[in-house]
Amino acid sequence: MTVDAHHHVWDLSVRDQDWIAEGSPLRRDFTVDDLAPEARAAGVDRTVLVQTVTVAEETPEFLALAAANDLIAGVVGWTDLTRADIADELARLRELPGGRYLKGIRHQVQGEPDPRWLLRADVHRGLTALAAAGLVHDLVVLPHQLPACVEAAAALPGLTFVLDHLGKPPIASAALEPWASHVRALAALPNTVCKLSGMVTEADPASWTADDLRPYADTVLEAFGPARLMFGSDWPVCTPTASYREVLDVARQLTDPGAHAEIFETTAVRVYDL
């Protein structure tokens, strides 16, 4: 069995995805019905659906979608971590149809101008509420924001932090530092996990090869180990650069077959309680 721990869906008739540029091949609907045949053909039988926009209505929609589709085993949604009633809001989400599929919360930290946004007192209160609720926090950040991730994870040892897309290293430029040092500092904390996802998106879309990705995959494999590493396709964001099957195949190529059970299944099942 294989778990895809990171993908998205969207319907532009429901709401715009304002982060998608005009003319992009991503500017169309991508549904579970589009994903399911590709995932199942690749041997994937469970997925984690991850938020796309900071709109409160999206998370209830995703929970209902998970309840209606046996492919989706978990949802990482969005809610305002700074709201004063965050604990009540998390409880409300869990009472909604499909609420049992809520496994974590993600905020688009990569878009915050303050590189230390995660360390604000109101954000810390929200992250504390996530820990109390038994949820995880997915980190979508840029390399310069990783030091704040380290501080936040150190301050909240009871909360699991999941680093999406390796922290978006500059693969296209082949630079490793300071990204690699920051990632190692984060991995030194036991309450952190990393997704082997999003690499092709950061690579040269026209010419990337597995060898271009290898130094970055090797860095997180060494830092986190397979028990704290999990595969994510980042579908459909990956599709302008690589197909679903290509993303899965290159992830397998970059990892030791002896570690595949953890990276492609058991880490995600444990971390997200699938």
Radius of gyration of the chain measured on its C-alpha atoms: 17
Spelled out in words, what is the top-level CATH class assigned to the domain 3-272? alpha beta
Provide the pLDDT for residue 1. Answer: 83
C-beta of residue 62 within 8 angstroms of C-beta of residue 51: yes
List, edge to edge, every strand of the sheet that includes 2-7. Answer: 2-7, 44-50, 72-77, 102-107, 136-139, 161-163, 192-196, 229-231
Q: What is the pLDDT of residues 166-188, one digit of tens each?
A: 999 999 999 999 999 999 999 99
Q: What is the pLDDT along the chain (274 residues), one digit of tens a residue?
A: 899 999 999 999 999 999 999 999 999 999 999 999 999 999 999 999 999 999 999 999 999 999 999 999 999 999 999 999 999 999 999 999 999 999 999 999 999 999 999 999 999 999 999 999 999 999 999 999 999 999 999 999 999 999 999 999 999 999 999 999 999 999 999 999 999 999 999 999 989 999 999 999 999 999 999 999 999 999 999 999 999 999 999 999 999 999 999 999 999 999 999 9
Provide the pLDDT for residue 141. Answer: 98
3-state secondary structure of 19: coil
What tokens were used for 103? 């496994």
pTM for the predicted model, two decimal places: 0.96
